[in-house]
Amino acid sequence: MEQYPSNDHEQLLELATMRMPFGKYQGRRLIDLPEPYVVWFAGQGFPEGKLGTMLRAVYEIKVNGLEYLFDRLR
């Protein structure tokens, strides 16, 4: 398996455990949010703060076909 810098690895681990705190998918892990929902956020504007940063990362990973990065974290 390809090695990632520890900071990137730690960020992926955090994405894997962070849960959506509100809305239709409240309680669901960010990495398990449906792509259309994350794309909707991209169009509406991500929330401010850490949640917005994390949702933006999930968006980039999903729309660029990099979801395999989440496979070992599920």
Q: Is the model's pLDDT at 5 over the cut of 50?
A: no
How far is it, in rounded angstroms, from Cα 67 to Cα 21?
A: 21
Predicted structure pTM score: 0.82
- The residues spanned by each domain of the chain are 6-73
Q: Is the model's pLDDT at 2 over the cut of 60?
A: no
Asked if 24 contacts 11 with a C-beta cutoff of 8 angstroms, the reply is no
How far is it, in rounded angstroms, from Cα 25 to Cα 10?
A: 24
pLDDT digits (tens, 9 = 90+) for 28-50: 999 999 999 999 999 999 999 99
Q: Higher-confidence residue: 56 or 67? A: 56
